[in-house]
Amino acid sequence: MAPFVPSKILVVGGTGTIGQYITASLLRAKPEFQQVVLFTSPGTAHTKAALLDKWRADGLSVIVGDLTSEVDVTAAYEGVDTVISAVGRGGLLVQLELLRLAEASPSVKWFLPSEYGTDIEHNTDKSPHERPHQLKLKVRNYIREHLKRVKVTYVVTGPYFDMWVYPMPDAEKAGGFVVEEKDAYVIGEGDGKVGFCTMWDVGKFVVATLQHPEESFGKALKVQSFVVTPNEVVAEYEKQTGSKWNVIETPLEDIRALEAKLWEEGNPRATGTTLRRIWAEGGTLYVQNDNELLALKPEDLESLEVGVKKALSGGYRADVF
């Protein structure tokens, strides 16, 4: 049998924070794929009309519909062989039905669920109990129990460097850089390594995954742009700004206490604080990542230097697709 080559790709959640990088990267690589289709909601089709028009000119097909409608999703799956989901946290469980319909579809062969974060099965003692992991674990469990025919790949990126550099309001201590004040918040002594991905590299890794189906089927691919300590990031900020920064260290126990308080208050920053604590504890470190399996070398990816340069010149919020 001829090896599987993705040809008609459907993206859901492709207008979101990370989905935009994935959609834009697929369009850049489009000559490789026969068709790239975006499924989007009527609300987003309205609010992001200019972006969708630009993407249409770049070769994107757009379907407007309701992601929770069996009729709409079944119609969108017609002729599609690969589904990429980048739905937001609020939509993670919508994927159970998307997966059920993919399994029932005559054409869908491969599904990449919305992950693009920490490896939720990094270790058996801690990861399964982390609160932000619960919905993605439910999706993985559903896949184990119900998907027999459709292949699945999880693209596990660790934290987005572009976002990690911004401190979260109410939880600044959990990490980040305030350029105006030259304040750098680090957890502990800032010397624990963290594996980062930049947001454009997430798109690159998804495209590379599609270029390596056989190597990727059934795997949680751990991909990283660079692995550095927060202190190395501080040093890069100091180099690029030509000035000394104030490093504010917060012990892990204080971050755990902050985390508990935010969860108790129902503060939306709780998720981010827990994730930052997991990353600071080494939750993104592997004996080996899967960059090589996808044939991506350091020179193909963004570096710490590039990441800081972009952060200092407006950051991801200034990105244009």
Ligand X SMILES: NC(=O)c1ccc[n+]([C@@H]2O[C@H](COP(=O)([O-])OP(=O)(O)OC[C@H]3O[C@@H](n4cnc5c(N)ncnc54)[C@H](OP(=O)(O)O)[C@@H]3O)[C@@H](O)[C@H]2O)c1
Q: What is the contact surface with ligand X in residues (CB under 6 A)?
A: 13, 15-19, 40-41, 44, 67, 86-91, 94, 114-117, 157, 159-160, 163
Q: Which is nearer to ligand X, 90 or 181 (CB)?
A: 90
**DSSP β-bridge partners for residue 183:** 178, 246
CB 87 within 8 A of CB 12: yes
Q: Which is nearer to ligand X, 244 or 317 (CB)?
A: 317
User: CA-CA distance, 232 to 10, in Å (whole number)?
Assistant: 39
User: CA-CA distance, 310 to 319, in Å (whole number)?
Assistant: 9
- In 10 A of CB 317, how many CB atoms? 9
Grouping H, G, I as helix, E, B as strand and the rest as coil, residue 123 is: coil
Grouping H, G, I as helix, E, B as strand and the rest as coil, residue 84 is: strand
Q: Which is nearer to ligand X, 117 or 175 (CB)?
A: 117
Nearest approach in angstroms of CB 135 to ligand X is: 9
Q: Catalytic pick from 8, 136, 151, 204?
A: 136
Chain residue whose CB lies nearest ligand X? 16
Nearest approach in angstroms of CB 45 to ligand X is: 8
Nearest approach in angstroms of CB 205 to ligand X is: 12
Nearest approach in angstroms of CB 297 to ligand X is: 22
* One-letter amino acid of 177: F
**Is 136 labeled as catalytic in the residue annotation?**
yes
Grouping H, G, I as helix, E, B as strand and the rest as coil, residue 194 is: strand
User: CA-CA distance, 36 to 199, in Å (whole number)?
Assistant: 20
Q: Which is nearer to ligand X, 184 or 206 (CB)?
A: 206
Grouping H, G, I as helix, E, B as strand and the rest as coil, residue 110 is: strand
Would you name the residues annotated as active-site residues? 136
